[in-house]
Amino acid sequence: IIRSFQEGLILQTIHYPDEIRNIKNMPGLPKNEEHPIHKQELTTAMNLIHCLTTPFEPEEYIDEYKEAFTDFIEEKI
């Protein structure tokens, strides 16, 4: 995931589906009126996203850390 931070962009690792919340449930997000998006910036961002987009199915990935941690806990019980 690419997100803005201060005056730059940050590339963040993926999250598994059970780790993702609906954006409607995110407290403290600014309203669009507070930070207007200029048409040229939006067009540039959309073009970049379009050029870099590839098919992605997060369900195909296995959270190996979570599985190992769960196995570890089950062994201790």
pTM (predicted TM-score) = 0.36
Instruction: Among 4-8, 13-17, 33-37, 66-70, name the most confident range.
Output: 66-70
pLDDT, tens digit, 9 for 90 and up, residues 15-54: 788 888 887 777 887 766 667 788 999 999 999 999 999 8
Taking only Cα atoms into account, the Rg of the chain, rounded to an integer number of angstroms, comes to 18
pLDDT of 13 reads 79
Contact 10, 2 (CB under 8 A): yes
More confident residue, 52 or 5: 52
pLDDT of 75 reads 93
Q: Which of 30, 1, 2 is nearest to 16 (CA)?
A: 1
User: Domain range holding 54?
Assistant: 2-76
- C-alpha–C-alpha distance, residues 6 and 33, integer Å: 19
Contacts of 15-23 with C-beta under 8 Å, sequence gap 24+, read 16/58, 16/61, 16/63, 16/66, 17/58, 17/59
pLDDT of 41 reads 94
Our count of domains for the chain comes to 1
